[in-house]
Amino acid sequence: MHNLQFVEATVVDGVGLIELNRPEVLNAINRPMVTELVELMTAFDRDPEVGVMVITGKGRAFAAGADIHEMAGDSPIDLELLDQFADWDRILSIKKPIIGAVNGFALGGGFELALACDLLFTTETAQFGFPEVNLGVMPGAGGTQQLTKIMGKRKALEWLLTGEKMSAHEAFHFGVVNRLIAPELLLEETMKYAKKVAKQPPLAVRLIKEAVDKAVDYPLDEGMKFERKNFYLLFSSEDQKEGMSAFMEKRSPQFKGK
């Protein structure tokens, strides 16, 4: 169990469960929270006992945006010197799968954190959105880029230019989220799926995520070459030998992540 000031975490059956813990302000994201979150994610990424991570929020929201009071008086020089989004960028280097379990609001920075996850499970009543335009600013931690890659230019602009909220059903329709789940079952169902992933051979899971991430940006021929190299690489692993031997011997494989 890791209990920090703004984030709590524990490991359950190979799943690193991380909970944002500022429920009194709907888990508004401040800089110390991001630092704690990324430090925990980095530690789980290096922990051989963790195969996958789940991020959720305590209370009535996933994260209802950035802490506006924290940044309202910042100047461009302040933000440059703070390197405002350096910790956010580290999330993109996490090699293990990240699953977001979204309850309630995921707005502004909360939506950006959700989009930084590899998979999103959400309640049927969750709401998403980028209200930054209503404050005279715009997303800065990847929101315009991530949403456009998922929805396409026209649909992304439709939401970004008005700051309106997107329902969970709309998010599902546009491919922003993977599954809609009853609120009382969100964490249970998310953890059930995460535990299945945690039992898979770690190297294969890691290289599958890496190849899919490349597919988003690479032309098809380059993506195919990258995929093939990862495919070949896995044949040097003990898990490949174990997995294929177990299949031929009609027994359950015992993967070690080697």
Domain 7-198 indexed as CATH 3.90.226.10? yes
pLDDT surpassing 90 at residue 151 = yes
Give the mean pLDDT of 64-80.
80
Answer yes or no: are the C-beta atoms of 20 and 63 closer than 8 Å.
yes
User: 214 pLDDT band (50/70/90 cuts)?
Assistant: very high
Active-site annotation holder among 109, 110, 129, 243: 109
Which pair of tokens denotes residue 231?
């495919």
Does 188 participate in catalysis according to the annotation? no
- How do the domains of the chain map onto residue ranges? 7-198, 202-248
Active-site annotation holder among 19, 36, 132, 227: 132
The CATH number, out of the four listed (1.10.12.10, 1.25.40.10, 3.30.70.20, 1.10.3720.10), of the domain defined by the range 202-248: 1.10.12.10
Give the mean pLDDT of 203-209.
96
Does 109 participate in catalysis according to the annotation? yes
**Average pLDDT along the chain:** 93
Torsion of CA 31, 35, 37, 42, to 10 degrees: 160
pLDDT, residue 117, reads 97
User: 192 pLDDT band (50/70/90 cuts)?
Assistant: very high
Structure confidence by residue, pLDDT tens digits, 92-134 = 999 999 999 999 999 999 999 999 999 999 999 999 999 999 9
Active-site annotation holder among 61, 66, 101, 168: 66
Structure confidence by residue, pLDDT tens digits, 32-56 = 999 999 999 999 999 999 999 999 9
pLDDT surpassing 90 at residue 3 = no
Does 132 participate in catalysis according to the annotation? yes
> What beta strand segments (E) does the chain contain?
2-3, 7-12, 15-20, 52-57, 98-102, 105-107, 119-123, 127-129, 166-167, 179-181
Query: Letter for the amino acid at 13?
Result: D
User: 179 pLDDT band (50/70/90 cuts)?
Assistant: very high
pLDDT surpassing 80 at residue 176 = yes
Q: What is the C-alpha to C-alpha distance for residues 128 and 173, in angstroms, rounded to an integer?
A: 13
pLDDT, residue 1, reads 67
Does 16 participate in catalysis according to the annotation? no
52 vs 66: which has the higher pLDDT: 52
Active-site annotation holder among 16, 112, 194, 198: 112
pLDDT surpassing 70 at residue 152 = yes
b/e per residue 207-233 (b: at least 16 CB within 10 A): bbbebeeeeeeeeeeebeebbeebeee
Give the mean pLDDT of 67-89.
80
Share of the chain above pLDDT 90, in %: 86
Share of the chain above pLDDT 70, in %: 100
